[in-house]
């Protein structure tokens, strides 16, 4: 049986959650709502599938998104808004449920976020008696709530309120943004639309900090309570090499700024119009010199003839599509491999191209499309048999990587290579529900111009089904980062070739029963939680030049990987993974008795003098470890995450408590289990707050 309710609805919103269950021998039951029981009690009948939907005004603004853990199959892809999750007719019960709410991308006024962010920024410089509203800005500018506002109107308003600032038209350079951020100040960039099919004409981007790594320079930006805010993207230009693209990424020379819709597809494109910096009250005279230092010259444009590599892409590779929520990464790659063997071109009609859906329907010909979208490809043995029967295509599958010479040989022969990669930090077995793996395709290679691969590592051109284009990775790289996960190549599908339908192919038994990789596209289901004004801090003092602490942001600013020699002085790290965010919290004390503490939040590190904040952080991590051990003694990680059912989106916190009689907790009561889950979550939030407020000598 199962029941669910919603709590802590936003002010002014109404409604709840309704749901229905598919029960063994009964079929779909009547719909239940807000705590009503779906399923059966005392009859030992399986619950095999569910559908859920929101009601009232909530249904107009949010989608309810859910996945279930199916016996013998693992987690399904996420379904939403009354779509089925689970299976029917397969005699498989569901044993856990994961649920979250996702904001819908509703029509908005053309400058909605720009107005709100402009007001939020100016209120950092106002005392409690003089806080401003969007209406104040609109009255001053003479614009209606539904009308767009211009950067000039906002700047005129700021001057009217007594603020002064410097401006930079166009792109705010890396050197300037780093200099401003290192001083602890904010800057404010107006983005104007180049194309805006969603009618959002501009955005106000508050610059909070930055991450400067060996791969790229990334500014930390804030959009107030926006789930569909713009992001920056790079793309190779003309004959530009990967190294040249990487050099541009380090100088913040990106190519495009896009927003996405709620399905993860590109929506509108923007460009920088003007940036405000050295924002201060008139009585303040403290400014930042943003002139580029002599030892940090601007990066000149790379001439076209400065090519230092030779590209060797597959002639007939065309992406078979962009993956969505369905867990079909392996099938997207298989479809592209078949199309490559068939030597399709850009002019090949769509009906003559194989898609991931076609491949899945070959695997499961008697399953509805709705249900198919919740399923992975099954075993490798069954997948290869279906590919041979339907498409007269097969491949060799091995539990190993290929060296560069092997990759080059197959690519030179026109054959694509599928690599199955797994989270190298995940301890769960490969192919399990917690470690499903992700399939990518090697579709080309890049040789150094001098051909000496002993001095210059060659690169692979790789296609990720989550994206519409390819990226490059060094052949010497031990792993690659995708959506915050460190994936390591572990299994290979290669020697793709055509065979007769009745040909005999052999796969090693240990590989034949392994599952194909089945990671859904995280960008298709991602809820983007963005920084917002914190209700827990005092109002900003207009005579203070550092408002950064008054905008809540869990990641540090600025970030830098150099630890100034303190790493060698640290003891071993005590750590705990936060299963809600996949970040790891950790701490280590200096060996001289804890005078310094290294505090880690994901990949971000602070070195801080020992004190009350570091002690609180350490206590939180220790408590999380204790809660984790208690929880995992009674249930799996999958059940841990699913039972919690806590997802934060923007300003909304929604708790959905799902009780499944079939979870089968071991050695722990349901109340104790839920207490530990809630305490774990609370400690994780507190640890973030402690970490944010620590001083950093790094």
The pLDDT of residue 358 is 94
Dihedral sign for Cα 587, 588, 589, 590, please.
negative
Same CATH topology for 112-281 and 309-524: the answer is yes
Q: How many helices (H) and strands (E) does the chain have?
A: 16, 31
For residue 567, is pLDDT > 60? no
The pLDDT of residue 530 is 28
For residue 697, is pLDDT > 80? no
One DSSP character per residue, 658-682 reads ---TTS---SS-HHHHHHHHHHHHH
The pLDDT of residue 305 is 32
- Position 571 confidence tier, pLDDT thresholds 50, 70, 90: low
For residue 586, is pLDDT > 50? yes
The pLDDT of residue 150 is 93
The answer to which of 265-279, 531-545, 572-586, 626-640 has the lowest mean pLDDT is: 531-545
Please give the model's pTM, rounded to 2 decimal places.
Answer: 0.41
Q: What tens digit of pLDDT does each residue of 209-253 get?
A: 666 655 566 677 777 666 678 877 777 788 877 678 777 777 778
For residue 366, is pLDDT > 60? yes
Higher pLDDT: 113 or 264? It is 113
The pLDDT of residue 614 is 85
Mean pLDDT on 506-526: 79
Domain boundaries, the chain: 2-103, 112-281, 309-524, 570-693
Distance CA 461, CA 311 (A): 9
Distance CA 476, CA 454 (A): 11
Dihedral (C-alpha) 395, 398, 401, 402: value to the nearest 10 degrees? -50
- Least Cα distance to 132 among 160, 108, 164 occurs for 160
Distance CA 98, CA 171 (A): 42
In three-state form (DSSP H/G/I as H, E/B as E, the rest C), the secondary structure along 380-402 is: HHHHHHHHHHHHCEEEEEECCCC
**Number of residues in the chain:** 698
- Least Cα distance to 526 among 142, 261, 185, 237 occurs for 261
The pLDDT of residue 251 is 78
- Least Cα distance to 354 among 328, 332, 335 occurs for 335
Angle between helices 670-693 and 637-644 (to 10 degrees): 80
Mean pLDDT on 485-492: 88
Mean pLDDT on 598-610: 81
Angstrom CA distances, 301 to 169, 449, 472, stand at 20, 20, 21
- Position 679 confidence tier, pLDDT thresholds 50, 70, 90: confident
Angle between helices 329-341 and 380-391 (to 10 degrees): 30
Distance CA 65, CA 53 (A): 9
Q: With b meaning 16 or more CB within 10 Å and e meaning fewer, what string describes 376-396?
A: bbbbbbebbbbbbebbbbbbb
Distance CA 269, CA 130 (A): 36
CATH topology for 112-281 is Cathepsin B; Chain A (3.90.70)
Distance CA 280, CA 162 (A): 9
One DSSP character per residue, 271-284 reads EEEEEEEEEEETT-
- Position 520 confidence tier, pLDDT thresholds 50, 70, 90: confident
> 3-class SS at 612?
helix
Judging by beta carbons within 10 Å of its beta carbon (0-12, 13-18, 19+), is residue 437 exposed, middle or buried?
A: buried
Distance CA 202, CA 222 (A): 14
Mean pLDDT on 263-277: 85
The pLDDT of residue 216 is 60
The pLDDT of residue 212 is 64
Mean pLDDT on 262-291: 71
Q: What tens digit of pLDDT does each residue of 21-77 get?
A: 999 988 999 999 888 888 887 788 899 999 999 999 989 888 898 888 888 888 888
The pLDDT of residue 668 is 54
For residue 652, is pLDDT > 50? no
For residue 555, is pLDDT > 60? no
The pLDDT of residue 217 is 67
The pLDDT of residue 639 is 52
Q: What is the CATH number of domain 309-524?
A: 3.90.70.10
| Percent of the chain surpassing pLDDT 70 | 77
- Position 477 confidence tier, pLDDT thresholds 50, 70, 90: confident
Helix (H) or strand (E) holding 363: helix 356-363
- Position 670 confidence tier, pLDDT thresholds 50, 70, 90: low
Higher pLDDT: 611 or 18? It is 18
Q: ∠ CA 239-243-248 to the nearest 5 degrees?
A: 85
User: How many CB atoms neighbour CB 693 within 10 A?
Assistant: 13
- Least Cα distance to 596 among 566, 616, 623 occurs for 566
φ, ψ of residue 470 in degrees (nearest 5): -100, 165
The pLDDT of residue 285 is 44
The answer to which of 381-385, 403-407, 466-470, 559-563 has the lowest mean pLDDT is: 559-563
Mean pLDDT on 436-443: 92
Distance CA 463, CA 441 (A): 5
Q: What tens digit of pLDDT does each residue of 335-361 get?
A: 999 999 999 888 888 889 999 999 999
The answer to which of 550-559, 588-597, 664-673 has the lowest mean pLDDT is: 550-559
The pLDDT of residue 403 is 92
For residue 658, is pLDDT > 50? no
The pLDDT of residue 12 is 80
- As beta bridge partners, residue 605 has 600
The pLDDT of residue 192 is 93
């Amino acid at each position: 049986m199962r029941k669910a309710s919603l709590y802590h609805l936003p002010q002014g919103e109404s409604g709840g959650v309704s749901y229905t269950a598919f029960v063994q021998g009964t079929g779909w039951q009547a719909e239940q709502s807000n705590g009503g029981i779906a399923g059966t009690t005392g009859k030992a009948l399986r619950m095999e599938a569910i559908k859920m939907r929101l009601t009232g005004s909530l249904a107009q603004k949010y989608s309810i998104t859910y996945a279930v853990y199916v016996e013998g199959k693992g987690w399904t892809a996420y379904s939403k808004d009354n779509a089925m999750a689970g299976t029917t007719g397969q005699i498989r019960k569901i044993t856990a449920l994961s649920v979250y709410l996702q904001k819908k991308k509703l029509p908005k006024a053309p400058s909605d976020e720009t107005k709100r962010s402009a007001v939020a920024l100016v209120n950092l410089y106002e005392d409690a008696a003089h806080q401003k509203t969007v209406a104040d800005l609109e009255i001053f500018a003479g614009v209606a709530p539904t009308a767009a506002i211009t950067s000039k109107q906002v700047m005129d308003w700021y001057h009217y309120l007594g603020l002064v600032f410097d401006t930079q038209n166009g792109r705010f350079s890396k050197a300037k943004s780093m200099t401003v951020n290192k001083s602890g100040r904010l800057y404010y960039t107006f983005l104007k639309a180049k194309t805006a099919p969603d009618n959002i004409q501009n955005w106000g981007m508050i610059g909070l900090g930055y991450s400067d790594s060996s791969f790229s320079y990334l500014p930390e930006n804030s959009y107030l309570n926006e789930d569909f805010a713009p992001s920056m993207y790079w793309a190779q230009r003309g004959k530009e090499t990967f190294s040249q693209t990487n050099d541009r990424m380090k100088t913040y020379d990106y190519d495009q700024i896009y927003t996405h819709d709620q399905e993860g597809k590109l929506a509108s494109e923007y460009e920088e119009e003007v940036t405000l910096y050295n924002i201060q009250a008139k009585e303040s005279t403290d400014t930042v010199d943003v002139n580029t230092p002599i030892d940090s010259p601007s990066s000149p444009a790379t001439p076209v003839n400065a090519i230092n590599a030779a590209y060797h892409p597959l002639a007939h590779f065309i992406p078979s599509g962009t993956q969505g929520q369905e867990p079909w990464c392996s099938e997207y790659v298989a479809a592209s491999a078949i199309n490559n063997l068939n030597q399709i071109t850009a002019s090949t009609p769509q009906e003559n191209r194989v898609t991931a859906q076609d491949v899945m329907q070959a695997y499961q010909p008697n399953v509805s499309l709705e249900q198919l979208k919740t399923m992975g490809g099954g075993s490798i043995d069954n997948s290869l048999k279906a590919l041979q029967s339907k498409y007269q295509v097969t491949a060799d599958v091995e539990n190993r990587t290929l060296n560069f010479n092997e990759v080059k040989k197959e690519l030179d022969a026109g054959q694509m290579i599928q690599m199955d990669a797994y989270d190298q930090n995940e301890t769960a077995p490969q192919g399990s529900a917690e470690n499903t793996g992700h399939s990518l395709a090697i579709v080309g290679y890049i040789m150094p111009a001098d051909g000496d691969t002993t001095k210059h590592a060659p690169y692979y051109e790789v296609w990720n089904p989550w994206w519409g284009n390819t990226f490059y990775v060094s052949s010497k790289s031990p792993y690659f980062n995708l959506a915050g996960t460190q994936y390591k190549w572990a299994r290979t599908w290669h020697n793709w070739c055509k065979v007769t339908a009745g040909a005999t192919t052999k796969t090693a038994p240990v590989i034949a029963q392994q599952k194909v990789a089945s990671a859904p596209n995280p960008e298709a289901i991602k809820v983007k939680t963005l920084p917002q004004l914190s209700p827990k801090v005092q109002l900003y003092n207009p005579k203070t030049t550092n408002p950064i602490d008054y905008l809540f942001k869990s990641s540090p600013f600025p970030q830098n990987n150099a630890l100034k020699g303190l790493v060698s002085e640290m003891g071993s790290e005590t750590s705990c993974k936060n299963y809600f965010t996949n970040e790891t919290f950790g701490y280590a004390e200096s060996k001289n008795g804890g005078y310094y503490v290294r505090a880690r939040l994901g990949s971000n590190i602070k070195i801080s003098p020992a004190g009350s904040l570091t002690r609180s952080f350490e206590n939180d991590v220790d408590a999380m470890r204790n809660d984790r051990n208690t929880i995992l003694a009674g249930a799996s990680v999958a059940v841990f995450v699913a039972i919690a059912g806590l997802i934060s989106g923007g300003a909304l916190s929604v708790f959905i408590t799902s009780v499944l009689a079939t979870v089968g907790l071991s050695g722990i009561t349901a109340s104790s289990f839920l207490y530990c889950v809630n305490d774990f979550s609370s400690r994780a939030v507190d640890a973030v707050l402690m970490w944010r407020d620590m001083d950093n000598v790094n």
